[in-house]
Amino acid sequence: MAKHKITLLPGDGIGPEVTAAVVSIIECAGVDVEWDKYFVGAEAISRFGDPLPQDVLDSILRNKIALKGPVTTPVGTGFASINVRLRKTLDLYANLRPVKSMPNVITRYEDVDLVVVRENTEDLYSGLEHEVVPGVVESLKIITRKASTRIAKFAFDYAQTHGRRKVTAVHKANIMKMSDGLFLQCFREVSQDYPNIEADDKIIDNLCMQLVVNPNQFDVLLLENLYGDIVSDLTAGLVGGLGVVAGANIGEAGAVFEAVHGSAPDIAGQNKANPLALLQSAVLMLQHLGEMGPAKRINDAIEKVLASGPEHRTRDLGGTGSTADFTGAMCETLRKGTRAND
């Protein structure tokens, strides 16, 4: 088995706790990793005066892969979002968010299994705003053929590699005929290269209604930046919230796998945090690295642990367990599986 060098960014709040739990579980799965650990966020500001030091970016560029815990982003004041800076600086153009129902995570929906692919670099998130005259602000929506084409290719390649049957482009081209029209045009052009994958499209407002009525009709959703930001959180709500879903930001220079929930400083250091979202992201990371065996073993162990009883689930999942209880149950399940295969 190959040894991997991975940049590790524990984050702040509950970040260090859930990151330590996930590192332990990866080691229990038998993956050989050398962790290149750095501080980001509030801790990095206190140490280095910058929430995202250049050394962190250099490490990710060097290793091509990073695992990142949650980082607090101040609202209205303070430093800019670390997530946005990472995506822009490293051109991590594809945001990948698989969404799948899990045992004993009770919601109104069953058997949800879809993937959100969000374009990460442009659209209204380009941040190009100005005041035309006092009291009138203009915000520019940027859509380019280059970005639209490469994210469409990413979505179809992902679908093809993972045995998905359909990619649905999401837009508002009935109103924004030029910008969303270009996004939709690029999608349709790219779809011609993937004849075995069904390609269709939905207007964004209709998609949101259809997701709530019957999410099982969808497979891979392809969205521009703003729509993708909203829909990825909506779909997470279908399966239990941001505490149970994975997140990845992928580009040609590297990939950052992260928990997409907040840093929950109110429960930091209390052994209450749920590591599942970061663990799911680590599974995506292992798949990205070609470590399919350990990724499957961890996935199987997650299902067994969640189904095993409330003492192994944290309180946000309706259980009575702690961070350590969940981590210990995962490692014991992985060890049992290893012994059974010996």
Distance CA 33, CA 23 (A): 9
Region at 217 (left for phi over 0; alpha for psi -120 to 50; beta for the rest): alpha
Choose, from 50, 91, 193, 205, the residue flagged as catalytic: 205
110: which residues sit within 8 A by CB, 6+ positions away?
101
161: which residues sit within 8 A by CB, 6+ positions away?
none
Q: Which of 123, 184, 118, 125 is nearest to 154 (CA)?
A: 118
Choose, from 113, 157, 201, 233, the residue flagged as catalytic: 233
233 part of the active site: yes
229 part of the active site: yes
Give whole-number Cα distances, 176 to 130, 131, 138, 147, in Å: 20, 22, 16, 17
Q: For residue 69, what are its two tokens?
A: 């815990």
Q: What are phi and psi of 209, to 5 degrees?
A: -65, -45
Helix axes 292-308, 15-28, angle to 10 degrees: 110
Contact (Cβ atoms closer than 8 angstroms) between residue 313 and residue 304: no
316 part of the active site: no
How crowded is residue 129: how many other Cβ atoms within 10 Å of its Cβ? 10
Distance CA 1, CA 9 (A): 24
Q: Which of 211, 247, 204 is nearest to 227 (CA)?
A: 204
Choose, from 180, 229, 316, 325, the residue flagged as catalytic: 229
Sign, Cα dihedral of 80, 82, 84, 87: positive
Choose, from 64, 100, 141, 172, the residue flagged as catalytic: 172
202 part of the active site: no
| DSSP letter assigned to residue 141 | -
Give whole-number Cα distances, 283 to 37, 80, 182, 273, in Å: 19, 28, 34, 19
Choose, from 38, 93, 125, 158, the residue flagged as catalytic: 125
Contact (Cβ atoms closer than 8 angstroms) between residue 60 and residue 66: yes
* Catalytic residue positions, numbered: 125, 172, 205, 229, 233
